[in-house]
Amino acid sequence: MIYHLVSPAYWAQFEQEATYISESLATETFIHCSRHEQIAGVLERFYGDVSELLLLHIDETKLTSPLLYEAVPDSTETFPHVYGPINREAIVKISWGKRS
């Protein structure tokens, strides 16, 4: 299982769609995701001032777009990156990523 954080407002655009496309797909060519143990660090580093987020639970075995685990700058960790839209069937659960 991999995870993706998204604002409720942004997710609302895709809630009824067959695929989800994050803003980073256009700018960085992939969708940022995390493994379960990486979520807390991602929330702290990138979403410290955000009070409402959704956490998409993605079954990587159901993805139709390529998934690569890649190193990121200034870290020894690898993160899952999805190179294309995330098909709705791969999103198996949606929960709150952070509450105020």
pLDDT category of residue 74 using cuts at 50, 70 and 90 = confident
Is residue 69's pLDDT more than 80? yes
What φ, ψ does residue 35 adopt, rounded to 5°?
A: -85, 165
**Residue ranges per structural domain of the chain:** 2-98
| CATH (residue range 2-98) | 3.20.170.20
pLDDT band at 98 (very low <50, low <70, confident <90, very high): low
- 67 or 26, which is more confident: 67
Task: Give me the long-range contacts of 8-13 (CB less than 8 A, separation at least 24).
Answer: 8/52, 8/53, 8/54, 11/54, 11/56, 11/94
Identify the CA nearest to 40 among candidates 53, 21, 59: 53
pLDDT at 97 over 80: no
> pLDDT at residue 99 above 80?
no
- Assess contact for 88 and 18: CB atoms under 8 A: yes
